[in-house]
Amino acid sequence: MFRKTPLLVAILMLAFIACTSKKEAEDAAKKSPTPSEAAAPQPEVHGTEVKAIELTNPLNKEWVSAGKVNYELKCLACHKLSNEKLVGPGWAGVTKRREPLWIMNMITNVDMMLEKDPEAQKMLEECLVRMPNQNISQEDARKLIEFMRSNDGEK
């Protein structure tokens, strides 16, 4: 009889813990949003068209470094620094092919660019994947452009 007592105590403790966890889960479910609330459209963090940009000469080394960090965090999964296409086009020579304003607007306001810009629409047809809104600020996008210029060999 004494051998069964520890087993019985363990079963009772597990039952108590399971009941407590179930109650906590039910309370949390009551506080969380319903599926329709969670699926409601969320406002964009950015989206204003950039009208002007000043390039530095020589490159701002701090911005190049910060741009590289942003590239590694938000861009590396889809864009290579070479001409090779991954999900999106490679970045080699992008600052030679595109105006800085075009690049800046593509980074910070991709929805507007894909809606209105023929070159952005052509890229979408080639890549077949819509560039996601990465919520990159204009300041961080400017640093990405500085990194792109560095990648393209500017000093």
Residue range 5-25, pLDDT digits in tens: 777 777 766 666 665 555 565
pLDDT of residue 49: 83
Cα–Cα distance list, 7 to 4, 10, 20, 21, 36 (Å): 5, 5, 20, 21, 46
pLDDT of residue 56: 87
> Reduced to 3 states, what is the DSSP secondary structure of residue 50?
coil
pLDDT of residue 6: 73
The correct answer on CATH 1.10.760.10 for the domain covering 61-151 is yes
Give, to the nearest 10 degrees, the angle between helix 138-151 and helix 100-108. Answer: 130
pLDDT of residue 43: 45
pLDDT of residue 142: 96
pLDDT of residue 46: 43
pLDDT of residue 36: 52
pLDDT of residue 9: 72
Return averaged pLDDT per consecutive 10 residues of the chain, 155 residues in all. Answer: 67 64 57 52 57 92 97 96 95 96 94 93 93 94 97 95
Residue range 48-59, pLDDT digits in tens: 788 889 998 999
